[in-house]
Structure formats: C-alpha cells, structure tokens
Amino acid sequence: MSGAETTTDRRVLVLNGPNLGRLGSREPDVYGSTSYAGLVARCTALGAELGLSVEVRETNDEGELVRWLHEAADGSVPVVLNPGAFTHYSYAMRDAAAQLTAPLIEVHISNPHRREEFRHTSVVAEVATGTVAGFGIDSYLLALRALVAEPAG
C-alpha cells in the first residue's frame, strides 16, 4: 500500500479448516505447541499492529467454510485460509475461493511437500494470490504481512 492509503479497520478473515482447533495437542512435532487460542491471539495482535481487523474462525464443516468464503466474496474481504485436509480434495471450497475479488493467501503450518504424497496437491493454490507454508504459526503472520505489503511491480 502506498503511504497515502491506510489499512485501519480493514477487515480480514483468517479461516481454518478441520482439526485446526486442536492445535497444541494435535501432533505437536508437526504443528507445534501453540494452541488455537494462541494462534487467535497472535493473529489479532499482529492485525491490530498492521491496522487490520482480524477475525479468526475454525470449522470441521466443509459447508460452513464454503459459506464463510461466500461471505468474504460478497464483502470483498481478504482471506487468509488454512483449509486443512480440504486443501487436497474440496472442489466446493476451491470454487467458493475462486469467487473472491480480494486477496486470498493459502497458509499451511507444515510444508505439505515434505509430507505424505497426497498432501502435495492443493486444489486452492491456483485460485490463491499466494501460498505461505512450512513456517509454523508464523505462516499466518507472514500472510497477514503480505496483505499490507506493496504489490509486486
């Protein structure tokens, strides 16, 4: 963003798919020890610092995630999305994400390409503005920073 633009109160949805509410207890060797509450706190704190109004949500329900993406599309709201397992097969979620007009940044706590082969494919990647993966919870923070960065020239 240029110096004349502001991000104050710019709304951002941070959407999480299945099992992400179990952060801190689910496979800490893969996903780290930060709890879901810790993720929410870190995202909202950085958002406030960046002038963003960040709302973090988690669901195990594919239909609910699709509805949230529709909400973001209807309101031109930027999205940071960790689809969880939906990454690899949810064409309904992918089609909802494709309707977004504001930026969509796909995030993953681990690096899917260093894991099982089925995790190597993302149906979301081709409709995402960008992807941040493999930096633990910091993947979310990097994505939020990317939303306010100057676009590539």
Query: Are residues 103 and 68 in contact, defined by beta-carbon separation less than 8 angstroms?
Result: no
Q: What is the DSSP string of 33-100?
A: S--HHHHHHHHHHHHHHHTEEEEEEE-S-HHHHHHHHHHHHHHT--EEEE-GGGGGT-HHHHHHHTT-
113 belongs to the catalytic site: no
Question: Given 108, 113, 120, 140, which residue is catalytic?
Answer: 108
DSSP H or E run through 127:
none
Q: Which of 31, 36, 89, 91 is catalytic?
A: 31
> Is residue 70 marked as binding?
no
- Residue 95 assigned as binding residue: yes
29 annotated to bind ligand? no
Residue 105 assigned ligand-binding role = no
Known binding residue 88? Answer is yes
Which phi and psi angles does 30 have, rounded to 5°? -100, -45
Q: How far apart are CA 78 and CA 104, in angstroms?
A: 6
Of all helices (H) and strands (E), which one includes residue 145? helix 138-148
Catalytic annotation present for 108: yes
Residue 119 annotated as lining a ligand binding site: yes
Which residues are documented as binding site? 82, 88, 95, 109-110, 119
Active site residues per annotation: 31, 108
Which residues are documented as binding site for substrate? 82, 88, 95, 109-110, 119
